[in-house]
């Protein structure tokens, strides 16, 4: 009779990660890193606000009623948005009536990116020398 030597259990050889699997893991990690850097760059890049510009003109008229010293200055034209995002701003008008400067802040409303809106604003002045009127403007965005 042969003595019982017991069972010898042989464990399977340890699995090695194939070179192909290592290459796939490296590629996935690199792709995730590149995406993370791209997203961080996009989030860190400031968005250019609306770039509002205007083509404005004005006309004057003397009031026929009353003592004849008053009148109106009508400012009209177009506000353009050359920026990459929609937004609005303020037209800061300076109107000279022949004696004094008068200041007005007029909201533009929202101007879509690449679009334009009409601008019309009338100023009524108690005293107006139509031959000396001057109109200046600046636009602020916000």
Domain boundaries defined on the chain: 17-46, 52-141
- Mind listing the pLDDT tens digit for each residue in 42-85? 777 665 678 999 999 999 988 765 555 788 999 999 999 998 88
pLDDT at residue 139, as a whole number? 92
pLDDT at residue 62, as a whole number? 83
Any idea which fold 52-141 has?
A: Immunoglobulin-like (2.60.40)
SS3 annotation, 75-132:
EEEEEEECCCCCEEEEEEEEEECCCCEEEEEEEEEEECCCCEEEEEEEEEECCCCCCC
Q: Global pTM?
A: 0.62
Specify the range with the lowest mean pLDDT, choosing from 14-18, 35-39, 118-122, 135-139. Answer: 14-18
pLDDT at residue 120, as a whole number? 95
């Amino acid at each position: 009779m042969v003595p019982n030597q017991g069972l010898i259990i042989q464990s399977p050889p340890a699995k090695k990660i194939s070179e192909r699997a290592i290459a796939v893991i490296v590629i996935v990690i690199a792709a995730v890193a590149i995406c993370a850097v791209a997203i961080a760059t996009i989030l860190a890049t400031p968005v250019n606000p609306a770039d509002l510009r205007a083509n404005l003109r004005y006309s004057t008229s003397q009031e026929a009623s009353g003592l004849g010293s008053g009148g109106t200055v009508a400012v009209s034209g177009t506000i353009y948005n050359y920026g990459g995002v929609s937004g609005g701003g303020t037209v800061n008008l300076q109107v000279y009536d022949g004696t004094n400067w008068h200041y007005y802040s007029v909201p533009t409303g929202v101007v879509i990116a690449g679009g334009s809106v009409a601008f019309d604003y009338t100023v009524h002045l108690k005293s107006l020398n139509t031959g000396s009127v001057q109109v200046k403007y600046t636009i602020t965005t916000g």
